Amino acid sequence: MSSFSQNFVKPLAINSRQDDEQTRIDFVTAYSQSLDVTLQQALEAEREAEWWSDIEKSSWNPFLLDYKIRFKRSPRTEDKIAAAKPSFILACFFPHLQQNQSQIKVPSSQLRLLLLVPFYYTRQEIALKRHELLRIRDEQARALGSLVLLRPQFQSSTDTYHLTKRLHQSIDPSSNIADIALFSSHTLASSKNAHNASLRTLARPSRLVRLWPRLFFGPPFVLYSIHSIYASRGTLLDLFRESKDVVKGFVLDWCIKPLVGVLETVKASKGDGTGAGLFISKEGVQADFDSLERMSLSLATDQLNYTPAQLDALSARIRLGDLTPVLKLYEEDIKSPLKSAIGGTLLRTLFIQVQKAKVDLDQALAGIDQLMKSQELTFAFVGLSPALAIVYVLGGLVRRLVRPSNTRRYGGKKERERMFWVMRRVERLLVLDPSSRDPNAKYDNKEDGQPSALTTGLLTLSINQLRTYAERYLPSSSSSPPSPSPSTFTPLPLYSAAMSSSSTTSSSASSLREAFLEDVNDLQDPELGIDQKQAVVERMWRCWGGVLGWGK
C-alpha cells in the first residue's frame, strides 16, 4: 500500500472484521492500488499536456521542436518517401496526418512561404497531442472519481461481489469480472499497459532528442571559442588592464574622494564656526561694523555734544542699523555743500555713509556665505550620487546572482502560475453544476447531490497538486510540528449533502506551508458543503493571491 492511499483506505480496513474478513482485506488492498495507479496516470497525462501547452504558446519553440525531431523520423521514412506522393511524404514526417488526411491542407497565405509548411503542421501535431492527453487525463480522472465515490458504498455494504465488479469497471468500463484475485493480475495490469501504450506516442520527446542540437553543435562551438580566445589573448590582456584602470579610477575618483569630501564637510560643520567663509570672514564684517560705530560716536561727540548716556543709546541704535542723528547732520550739510565741505561736517557724514554701505554689503555677503555653507553637504552628495547609483545597480545584479530573487521564490514563476490554473479549475468545478458536467458518469447518486465521477476526479487531482506544491515549495516553521506528508492526503468525496460542521479543530498555523495546507484540508473536508468550499476558495484567492503572485 503506497503513501497516497494509506489514510484513505485505513477506515475501510477497520470494517474488515465483518464476515469474509480476508476478502474485504483483499478488496481494500486492490482498492488502494487502483487509487494510486489511477492518480499517477492522471498526473502523468496532465504533466505531458502542460508541456505541450507550453511549447504551443511560444512563437519559436514549435519550429525548434520540429527541427529537433526531424532526425528521428527521417531515417525511418527515407526509403518510403523516394516514390511517394506529396501527401504521403507529409504523413511520414507528421504522423498525425495519417489519421486524418483532410488535415493535409495549407492555408493559401502559407503556400507562398514553403518554409512555414513544417511549422504549420508541427503546430497541428502539438495541438492534437495536447487534446489527446487531456482526453486521457479526463478518462483517468473519471476513473479516479468513480473510485472515490465507491468508498461510502463500501462502508455501508457487505456485498463484496458487486463492489468488486464495480471496482473492475471503474478501471476498465468494459470489464465484467467480479473476482478480486484477478484484479491486480488482469484489470490493473491491462490498464497500465494500455495507458503506457497511449502515452508512448503522445509524450514529450526523449531528452536525447531535445538535446541533440546542443550535443552536436556544442563541442565545435566550444572548441572554436577556446581557439578564438587563445588567439586574442594579447588583446584580452590589454582589455583586462584597461578595465582594471577604469575600475580603479571609478573607485578612487568617483567613490572615495567624493565620500571623503562629504566627511570633511560634516566635520567642518561640527566645528566652532570660527573658520573662514567662502566670500568673507566673520572678523572682517565685525571690524567694519566697529569702525562704523566709532566714526558715528566720534561725530556725535564733536558736533552734537552727546553725553555718555546719549552715546550709549546711540551705540545701541547703530547696532540696530539706525543712523538717524548722522543722517540729520548730512541733511543740514547738504543745504550748503561748498561751505560744509570746507569747514563743516559734510565729508565726515559722507564717509560714514560709505562705511555704512560697506557694512551692509558685508552683511549681505555673510548671509550668502551662510546659505552656501548650509548647502555644502547637499552639493557634496550631488557629486557622490552618480557613483552611488552605479554601485546600487551593480549590487542589485550581484545580489540576484548570489541569492534567488522574488521571482524564484515559492517554486518560481512557472510553478506559481501552474497553481493559479489549478486554483481556477477548482473554483470552476465548484461553481458549475457538477451533476450536469459529465453525462457519461456512472455510479453517481445525483439525487443525494453527489457530483459526477469526472468532477470528483478532477477535484481530487487538483487538491493533490495543491498539497504537493505546498509540501515541496512553501517554507515551514522549524519550531512547529511537521506538516502532513503526502501519505496523509485523503481523497474524500468533496461534496456532502449535509452541511454539518467539520469534525477537525482548526489549529494556529505558524508558517506559510501550514496555513496553505489548512486551506487544502478544508477543501477536501467531506463535511463542508459547496457554499463553504466556495468560501474557502475565495479565502485562498484573497490570502495567497498577493503572496504567490496570482493577482499579477
Residues 432 and 365 in one domain: no
Residues 304 and 414 in one domain: no
Residues 110 and 209 in one domain: yes
Residues 413 and 328 in one domain: no
Q: Which residue from 137, 135, 155, 140 is spatially nearest to 34, judged by alpha carbons?
A: 140
Residue 238 lies in a domain: no
Choose one of 385, 418, 442: the last residue of a domain: 385
Counting every residue, how long is the chain? 552
Residue 247 lies in a domain: no
Residues 412 and 535 in one domain: yes
CB 509 within 8 A of CB 477: no
CB 123 within 8 A of CB 62: yes
Choose one of 385, 416, 450: the last residue of a domain: 385
Residues 420 and 532 in one domain: yes
Residues 379 and 317 in one domain: yes
Q: Other C-beta atoms within 10 Å of 89: how many?
A: 14
Residue 474 lies in a domain: yes
CB 68 within 8 A of CB 204: no
Residue 352 lies in a domain: yes
Per-residue pLDDT of the chain (552 residues; tens, 9 = 90+): 444 454 444 444 444 444 456 666 766 777 788 888 889 999 999 999 988 888 877 766 666 666 556 555 544 444 443 344 445 445 555 555 555 555 545 444 444 455 566 677 777 888 888 899 999 999 999 988 888 887 766 655 545 555 555 665 566 555 544 455 566 666 777 778 888 888 888 888 888 877 877 888 889 999 999 999 989 988 989 999 999 999 999 888 888 888 887 787 777 666 545 555 556 677 778 888 888 888 888 888 888 888 888 888 888 888 888 888 888 888 887 888 777 777 777 788 888 888 888 888 888 887 787 777 767 777 778 888 888 889 889 888 888 777 755 567 888 888 888 999 999 999 999 888 554 444 454 444 444 456 788 888 999 999 999 999 999 999 887 544 444 444 344 444 433 333 333 444 444 556 888 999 999 999 888 788 888 888 999 999 999 988 888 866
**Residue 56 to residue 60: CA distance in whole angstroms:** 9
Residues 205 and 65 in one domain: yes
Residues 380 and 411 in one domain: no
Residues 134 and 37 in one domain: yes
CB 381 within 8 A of CB 262: yes
Residues 32 and 108 in one domain: yes
Report the chain's terminal Cα–Cα distance, integer Å.
41
Amino acid at 108: S
Its domain, for residue 115, covers 6-216
Residue 176 lies in a domain: yes
Count of domains observed in the chain: 3
Q: Which residue from 361, 357, 362 is spatially nearest to 295, judged by alpha carbons?
A: 357
Residues 380 and 422 in one domain: no
Q: Which residues contact 334 (CB under 8 A, 6 or more apart)?
A: 340, 346
Residue 53 lies in a domain: yes
Residue 485 lies in a domain: yes
**Residue 166 to residue 187: CA distance in whole angstroms:** 12
Choose one of 168, 198, 216: the last residue of a domain: 216
As separate numbers, helices (DSSP H) first and strands (DSSP E) second, the chain gives 21, 0
Residue 294 lies in a domain: yes
- Long-range contact list for 362-365, CB < 8 A, 24+ apart? 362/280, 362/284, 362/285, 362/288, 362/289, 363/285, 365/279, 365/280
CB 74 within 8 A of CB 66: no
